[in-house]
Amino acid sequence: MSDAPSPAATARRLIRGLDRATLATALAGLPHPRESPVAWPYASLVLAATDPEGHPLLLLSDLAEHTKNLKQDSRASLLFDGTAGRDDPLTGPRVTVIGMAMPVADELLLARFTRRHPGAAAYAGFGDFHLYRLTMMRAHLVAGFGRIDWIAAEDLATPAAPALAGAEADIIAHMNQDHAEALDLYAERIAGQKNNGEWRMTGIDPEGFDLRRGGCIARLDFRASVYDAEGARAELVRLAKLARGSL
């Protein structure tokens, strides 16, 4: 029996683990050459985070073309590209997520985004910037030659974990303030990052947690899903022991 993750698990890890994506929207205001009502496709680079269930979050300016497009037509897709660093990119994983991108006024989700992207905190409060949430409807995963799957919406998101979401900010503050050494070990010994120190936890969810150091990011998976602070603590302790044991 193969130990390879399922297509849905692979897709979720790409969506949660990558901090940028290509956003495709329907270009507003540009007529088709044959005067057809069909809009031109428009692709742009965006920073991305996720809500606790895994739906992508985007912080968009009202002045951006993609935001103007979404105000006319909320249908969108996001390409998360996990092929960086490969000699042949086509052997690497990537997933296109299809859904509806709508503004969401939620301070906790905005905080989740700005922890993931600290530079965004400088403009997150501007009146022309708004948080958007892409409600996932379907995804298309290409994980290498011959590994191609459509994934249904119910398999993309993780179940809601309100107890964990409510404790997230406290867990992150505790880990960053009191366990900086463990975060560095997670990054170096488990995630395979260079040991330059000063790694910070930016988010935690039922399937794992995210780290950042400057422009570098890392994602660590839990052995089993957790739904509250106690479950998260047990997994963080287990991973710390694993990292120290590999020294």
pLDDT tens digits along 3-51: 778 999 999 999 999 999 999 999 977 666 666 667 889 999 999 999 9
Q: How much is the pLDDT for 2?
A: 54
In the predicted model, is pLDDT for residue 202 greater than 80? Answer: yes
Specify whether 150 is located in the same domain as 167. Answer: no
Specify whether 152 is located in the same domain as 179. Answer: no
- The number of domains in the chain is 2
Q: How much is the pLDDT for 177?
A: 97
In the predicted model, is pLDDT for residue 145 greater than 90? Answer: no
- Quote the mean pLDDT of the chain: 93
Any idea which of 39-43, 65-69, 171-175, 178-182 has the lowest mean pLDDT?
A: 39-43
In the predicted model, is pLDDT for residue 233 greater than 70? Answer: yes
Range of the domain at 208: 162-245
d(CA 214, CA 14): 20
> What strand order describes the sheet that includes 208-213?
200-205, 208-213, 216-221
Split at pLDDT 50, 70, 90, the class of 246 is low
In the predicted model, is pLDDT for residue 144 greater than 90? Answer: no
Task: Please identify, among 156, 174, 202, the residue that sits at the C-terminal boundary of a domain.
Answer: 156
Specify whether 42 is located in the same domain as 113. Answer: yes
Split at pLDDT 50, 70, 90, the class of 1 is very low
What's the whole-number mean pLDDT along residues 146-154? Answer: 93
Specify whether 119 is located in the same domain as 175. Answer: no
- 83-119: burial string, b at 16+ Cβ within 10 Å, e else: eeeeeeeeebbbbbbbbebeeeeeeebbbbbbbbbee
In the predicted model, is pLDDT for residue 77 greater than 90? Answer: yes
What's the whole-number mean pLDDT along residues 153-171? Answer: 95
Specify whether 39 is located in the same domain as 71. Answer: yes
Q: Are 188 and 196 in contact (CB under 8 A)?
A: no
Split at pLDDT 50, 70, 90, the class of 143 is very high
What residues have CB less than 8 Å from 217, skipping those under 6 apart? Answer: 17, 18, 19, 210, 211
Determine whether 194 is exposed, middle or buried from the number of CB atoms within 10 Å of its CB (0-12, 13-18, 19+): exposed
Any idea which of 32-41, 148-157, 237-246 has the lowest mean pLDDT?
A: 32-41
Specify whether 67 is located in the same domain as 177. Answer: no
